[in-house]
Structure 1
Amino acid sequence: MTDTEPHWRHICEVCGVEETLTPSEAFDRGWDYPPRMGKFGVVGPRCCPRCPNVRTVWWAFVIDGYTEDMLTEAQQETVRRIAGEPESIELSDN
């Protein structure tokens, strides 16, 4: 970790827990979150180390074959947040 690494909001799309972490901290703690796991703006799991990725939007699309119109409102919000990354997870003081 470097002192220049930004702190971002890490929001588990499964349980809703939120932590403010650097990318290195998130990776070391087991979060599935860009930029160390996946890419910003691309649907992939956004979950904490306690939750399975089988309940993520990525799983719904890739494994279950959902289309966007089949998603719940919470899942649609996750897609909007992912599409707006990293700005959508920036802290107000970054």
Structure 2
Amino acid sequence: MSLKLALPGGQLAQPTDELLRQAGLIVRGYTDGSRSYRPRLDGRQGVRLRVFREKDIPIQIALGNYDLGICSLAWLKELLIRFPSEAVVQL
């Protein structure tokens, strides 16, 4: 079984990388100047990562393309206002 995680690009990339590092997760090819949209998680098999524009992350989760995503609360709220029946939740 694999876990698909959507990561934000842009201004949230650096704080997200720091948060993941504090949790012991080292992401290669994310904030080190790489232009790759598919970074890798060191030492973790079965975890697929993809970088998206922050506003697209709740949509990717709602569509079932990704299991988890990191974005600002504003984009999550916007999705839920537009589509209140979506099963996307804040953790």
The two structures share one fold, judged by TM-score above 0.5: no
Q: Which has the higher contact order (CA 8 A, sep 6+)?
A: 2
- Structure in which a larger fraction of residues adopt strand: 2
